[in-house]
Amino acid sequence: MFHGPGGPRFILEQESRKASDVGATLARLGSYFKPYWFMLVLVAVLMIVNAWAQVITPDLTGQVVDCFLAPRAANCWYTTVSPTRALDETIVGLGGLVATLVGIYILGAILGGMMFYAMTWTGQRVLKKLRVDVFQHLHRLSVGFYAENETGNLMSRITNDTDTLQQAVNFTLVQVVSGALLLVWIAWVMLTKSFAYGLVSMAVVPLMILATTWFSDQARRAFRRTRQEIGNVNANLQESIAGVREVQAFNRENANIAEFERSSAAYRDANIRAVAFTSALAPTLEALGYLAIALVVVVGGIAFLRGQDLFGTTMSLGLIVTFLGYVQRFNQPIQQISVMWTNIQSAVAGAERIFELLDTQPDVTDKSNARVMPPIQGAVEFDRVDAEYKKGERVLCGVSLRAEPGQTIAIVGPTGAGKTTIINLIPRFYDVVGGAVKIDGIDVRDVTRASLRQQIGIVLQDTFLFSDTVMNNIRYGRLDATDDEVIAAAKLVRADSFIERLPKRYETVLGERGTGLSQGQRQLISIARAALANPRILILDEATSSVDTRTERLIQQALEKLLHGRTSFVIAHRLSTIRNADQVIVIQDGAVVERGKHDELLARDGVYHDLYMSQFRREVEEEPARQEVMVAAT
């Protein structure tokens, strides 16, 4: 029902386009953290203390050497160096220093655990809010959006793309920020202790930055490709499972398997490329880290033998040990940040896809001054209506018609004539591009969609049932309805007869899309849902076209009660519907070519007569037999 030929142009931009600014994406993601600023403050405090613990330990390790193992008074601040110091004093002092080191290590581990827990607590709430925002936005988008976007791809944006953010938000972000803080802190301490030696220790940093920048850029491109390909895999999977009957009926198993293999292979290749760049970065940075350690040892050893560095700073063995510890700690966060940054690139690629979806604007929106639709009386008017799905390609051209309250309007015409488009315009699933659709003299674009659709009931030929109880599927028509009202609606449309035979009657849980029920039973539940809503306007895509004769008779009897006093628009596939209609509208090539009652249109010997002879003549010939069956059914 929801889309006509061609469909509206709502396709999301291809992921192959140039990515949006990474900084803007991260800033937008950061806005989701604002409600949890207090937890971020706690994380920041824990991060600072944890960084202090990591900065102080190399210096204390150097003090072990300079104060006790190879005393150098000039570089020993832990205790007074004395050649005549007793052995027991040395052991006590050394033990105290070692105990201090162990205590700081334990404190750092505890603070690190607390920091990651606090960030995980915050991150999970951010991800939940992001998922809910995407889910809400999907429900606000126009139905035409779904005509051109695969369900599996959209699901991938809520599941896989948000999953890529999970590790980044929970762990990677903390490691990157704490690593950056540690880098700055260690660099300042090294330059303070020995400016020349500090420069030597950080000599490989520019090379690390260049390597990280290049590998990260390549990884981001590759990860963006993987996000697109996993979306294609999910879309292929969802479509194949949903259409499994058609696949088996037309012996398409092998073709579908081959197509799935192709999409999976594309995802595999994109993933291998992304992992290749990620994997290559770590050993590159590790090699540069070893080069930095070698420089520290060689330059420090030469300076130790000379007794001082190039700037005259006294060089001790303990200071060399301290700088070795600093370099290891300095290189470690650089490597972590570089590797984690590629993970952030993957997360950014996922965030870009999510925000791209959130930025997609619905084609049909409420005006800023839209008012609530008053209780509908049922007069519906199409005033020279033009409609299109693709810009410049008209589906309806100058359609004018009027339905008085309580009338039944049958809409007939060849396939692709524009019948579905007409009924889609009434509840504003699409908007007109010319003219106006009015209900009780009110342009439907001037009222809120919710208040309009609340008073319109829709029964489709291909009905949709949810994986829920029968009771809740009927209650979907009016969520505040009581159980008694739901049962009354089911009885009205004669659905109670088969519901009472279900294992748990109204509490029976249906399978996906109503699996386990016949087409006629699913249709009866759908009609009961519309009856419960008690709408003033009914839209029927010939609710009896897919049911047997006995069920059709039951539904027609129910519809006679349901349609009484209500305005209804019916896309007619059965002659009985047309004969009972107050007005028959004949659509051809997007225009109304004939209108009137059944007998009047037949007498004109025009388009309707041709449709009747080609589409309904066989039904007329079978009518006597059908009537006998219907009489027997009653």
Residues 470 and 339 in one domain: no
Return d(Cα 506, Cα 219) in angstroms, integer.
54
Say if residues 567 and 410 touch (Cβ distance below 8 Å): no
Residues 199 and 79 in one domain: yes
Tokens (6 digits) for 5: 């030929």
Say if residues 319 and 75 touch (Cβ distance below 8 Å): yes
| Of 318, 335, 358, the domain-final residue | 358
Task: For residue 451, tell me if it sits in a domain.
Answer: no
DSSP string, 551-583: HHHHHHHHHHHHHTTSEEEEE--SHHHHHH-SE
What's the Rg (C-alpha) of the chain?
37
pLDDT value of residue 85: 52
- Distance spanning both ends of the chain, measured CA to CA: 32
The structure's pTM equals 0.63
Q: Which residues of the chain are modeled with pLDDT < 50? A: 1-20, 73-74, 81, 84, 624-626, 628-634
Nearest to 555 by CA among 590, 508, 519: 519
Say if residues 285 and 206 touch (Cβ distance below 8 Å): no
Residues 350 and 470 in one domain: no
pLDDT value of residue 8: 37
Task: For residue 142, tell me if it sits in a domain.
Answer: yes
pLDDT tens digits along 365-413: 788 888 888 988 888 989 998 888 877 778 888 888 898 888 888 888 8
CATH number, domain with residue 238: 1.20.1560.10
Q: Which domain holds residue 506?
A: 461-534
Nearest to 564 by CA among 545, 541, 540, 538: 538
User: Total structural domains in the chain?
Assistant: 2
Residues 328 and 476 in one domain: no
Cα three-residue angle 503-506-509, rounded to 5 degrees: 65
Task: For residue 515, tell me if it sits in a domain.
Answer: yes
Q: How many CA atoms lie within 13 A of 246 on its CB side?
A: 6
Return d(Cα 329, Cα 181) in angstroms, integer.
12
Nearest to 563 by CA among 442, 409, 419: 409
Residues 158 and 45 in one domain: yes
| Of 358, 385, 417, the domain-final residue | 358
Task: For residue 363, tell me if it sits in a domain.
Answer: no
Residues 277 and 163 in one domain: yes
pLDDT value of residue 14: 40
Nearest to 332 by CA among 49, 55, 10, 4: 55
Task: For residue 586, tell me if it sits in a domain.
Answer: no
CATH number, domain with residue 516: 3.40.50.300
Task: For residue 191, tell me if it sits in a domain.
Answer: yes
Hey, is 571 helix, strand or coil? strand
Task: For residue 292, tell me if it sits in a domain.
Answer: yes
